[in-house]
Amino acid sequence: MEYNEERDTYSATINTPSVKGVYTTTIQTVSKDKLSQLAITMTLKVDPYGYVYTKFFGNEIRISGAKVSLYKKVDGKEVLWQPSDTQTNPQTTGKTGEYHFFIDPGEYKIVVEAKWYSEKTSDWFTVETNILQTNVQMQLNPLILYSSIAIFISISFTVFYFISRKKQQI
């Protein structure tokens, strides 16, 4: 725990489990002279990662293999954020569609690319904490959707044509 004389406040970093969930924690302080104590119990919601998904009949379907790139605004210019530790940028989502960036406060945007989906670029947003956990909804690429429909119709007409010719021969 650190004391900030200028603000007359204390701050502490609380390490939470990495598994998503709701946890109860108690912070207990004891004065230097050990004459007074204070205990504060609180509930912490842990949702450590953002994820990439699409909607299908109202249900969220996570997208694996999506490329998530993080951009930072530096001196008014857009630059691909460069991590200073073991993180990578861009990241590729796994089975759960999750990604995570632990970043400094600032202005950022994310760009997500995934096979069969239209590229998604967020607006610029301000991050005040160190965790980016934005969930991104993707839309199927209309060209792929319309191509699939056209192929289905073509195959249906071809099958219908051959069935009707077969009936005429009988």
pLDDT (tens digit, 9 = 90+) per residue, 39-89?
888 887 776 688 999 998 999 999 999 999 999 999 989 999 998 878 899
Q: Tell me what percent of the residues of the chain surpass a pLDDT of 90.
A: 35
Question: How many structural domains are present in the chain?
Answer: 3
More confident residue, 134 or 45: 134
Give the contacts of 104 (CB within 8 A, at least 6 positions apart). Answer: 127, 130
What is the chain's Cα-based Rg? 26
- My answer on whether 113 and 62 are in the same domain is yes
Question: Are 103 and 32 in the same domain?
Answer: no
Same domain (yes/no): 135, 63 = yes
Do 83 and 103 share a structural domain?
Answer: yes
133 shares a domain with 64: yes
Mean pLDDT across the chain, nearest whole number? Answer: 85
Same structural domain, 75 and 149: no
Indicate if 90 and 156 belong to the same structural domain. Answer: no
56: containing domain: 50-139
CB atoms within 10 A of CB 140: 14
In terms of domains, do 82 and 108 share one?
Answer: yes
| The two three-digit tokens of residue 111, written as one number | 């760009």
90 shares a domain with 59? yes
pLDDT, one tens digit per residue, over 95-111 is 999 998 888 889 999 99
| pTM score | 0.62
Q: Are residues 33 and 86 in the same domain?
A: no
